[in-house]
Amino acid sequence: MLIYLAIIFNAILVNNIVFSQFLGICPFIGVSRKIDSAAGMGMAVTFVMAVATAVTWLLQHYVLVPLGLVYIQTIAFILVIAVLVQMLEIIMKKSAPGLYAALGVFLPLITTNCAVLGVAIIVANKDFGFIYSIVYAIATALGFTLALLLFAGIRSQLELADVPRPMRGVPVALLTAGILAMAFMGFSGIKIG
């Protein structure tokens, strides 16, 4: 049980996929203008990352490794993620049209979200067990969601602030993201277990 708490803490705070590993930056910057869009993207990424990790783990251990096809790992993983995102898009279009409209172009971008592919490859390369992989994927996705929500909250406050004209928009967003990354580095000294 303690090992799973360590995995969760580590994936969410210490090695946050956005602030420590710099994966998923495109949706991090693009969707973080509104808190509700950030929350929706976080939920979508959490679902896709968990399911994609489970499917790619099974694919890796029961198809690619036994058949000696590990060299096509990245292509196979991208195809799996693309199919999952297409399924999610169809389901969201029917069941949650408001969220589907709010996410707009960023929902199909989950297909190319390097955080989803990155977690699948990390799990495969480090040869994690199945349950460990799923816990790691969900915790990493929750860390991604936390980063999105924090950043969206800060950006909504920056809209009200008197920011110098040359720093408005993306420059102040990138500066804020850098400060958040440094803040998350403070968690690296904490050890569990």
Give the tens place of pLDDT for each residue, 110-152.
777 789 999 999 999 888 899 999 999 999 999 999 999 999 9
The region, left, alpha or beta by phi > 0 then psi within -120 to 50, assigned to residue 169 is left
Q: Which residue from 143, 163, 132 is spatially nearest to 42, judged by alpha carbons?
A: 143
DSSP character for 92? H
- pTM, 2 dp: 0.86
pLDDT in tens, 4-55: 888 898 889 888 898 888 888 887 887 778 888 888 888 888 888 999 999 9
Q: Which residue from 83, 153, 149, 145 is spatially nearest to 115, judged by alpha carbons?
A: 145
Length of the chain: 193
Q: Which residue has the tokens 């928009």?
A: 169
